[in-house]
Structure formats: C-alpha cells, structure tokens
Amino acid sequence: MPLAIPLLICMLAFGPATPTRERAPIADTIDYHVRATDPLVRAWIRNGGAESPTLNRLLAQLTASDVIVHLVLLDRIGGGVDGQLSFVTATPLARYLRIELTRLGGRADMIALIAHELQHAVEVARSPRVRDPQSLATLYLQLGDSMRDPRHFDSVAARLTEDIVRREVLGRRGLPDDEVPLMAQFKRSHSLR
C-alpha cells in the first residue's frame, strides 16, 4: 500500500489550519498531484502557478481532487498536436492521467500549454465517472470539440484558459532565476540533436 502513506500525508497537509500554524502554500503540496520528472517542466509549473492566478487555481483544484497527473516533455506527438491528456489507470483512491507536451514556443507559450492540459485534468477531476480511457472519450464527446484527428478532442474552457494564462505570464517581467540555467541546459541538449 505505498499509495496510502503519501495520501495520508497529503490529507494531513490539507487538514484544518490551527491559529498558531498557517496552512502550507500550494507549492509545497502540489507535487503529489501534478508531477514531472523534467526540472524545466517542474519550474514552469511552480513559477507559472506563482505568476498566474488562473494556473494557481487549476493546481489548487487538482490538489483537492483524486486526480494525479504526470507531465512529460516530448520531441513530438502524433496527430500534429502540441499537448494531449490520456487516462492511465484508476485505483480506489486515485485516478492517474498523463499529459504529453511538445516544445512549441517560448516560456509563456509553454506555461499556457501546461495550463490548457491541466484544465482538461480538472475537467476529468470534476467527472468522477471518468475511470478509464472509454469514459474519458465519452466525457469529451459530450463537452469537447473534435479536432482535425477524430481521436483528439479539445474544450472551449481549455482554449480560454490557455489564452488567459499566456496573458497573465506575459504581464510579468523577467525570467525567474531558477529557470535561467534550466533553459540554457534545455537549449544545449536540443541543439545537439
């Protein structure tokens, strides 16, 4: 039961705050529900959540849900999309989703793309009946717009979220210090290919 211990820790972190102790900031607890192995993607999630109230709300909604999302940065995704969400598995305690992203532009574009895909994850979190790939497809047949490829769907809310988050991030000035070396490393590693 390795899932039980992290879930218990997460539940304790969100228990009622006492007058002498403040609740932990969302940045301290979100890693349980929104995960990425790539340090640059983690920085975009963390810093984007600090810069964008909209992205921060998505992270809070996911933290309060039974959904756990793993984000992966890929060189390309089939079907000509820049990001996609897929259903991995469900247990009695959690539903696991995977978000795949491609590098499509600058920092604000990437944070906005992450927010777009996390909006989809929130849509799943709000739909407890989504417990497998088939029920995910049914959800998006009901609320989504079909894309060029009939196997890919989108939602108006995700597109709107992407635009709002891009504007919020672009409204900020400068690159957070922790992203500077990660961006340089990313550019070096991708220029060698």
d(CA 96, CA 76): 22
d(CA 175, CA 171): 12
d(CA 168, CA 104): 18
For the stretch 136-191, pLDDT in tens is 989 988 876 655 445 567 889 999 999 999 999 999 876 677 777 777 777 777 66
State percent of the chain over pLDDT 70: 76
State yes or no: pLDDT of 73 exceeds 60: yes
| Residue 121, φ and ψ in degrees, nearest 5 | -65, -40
Domain residue limits, the chain:
32-191
Q: What pLDDT is attached to residue 4?
A: 38
For the stretch 20-37, pLDDT in tens is 334 444 444 567 899 999
Calculate Rg over the CA atoms of the chain: 17
Place of tokens 């992205």: 55
For the stretch 86-105, pLDDT in tens is 999 999 999 999 999 998 78
pTM: 0.77
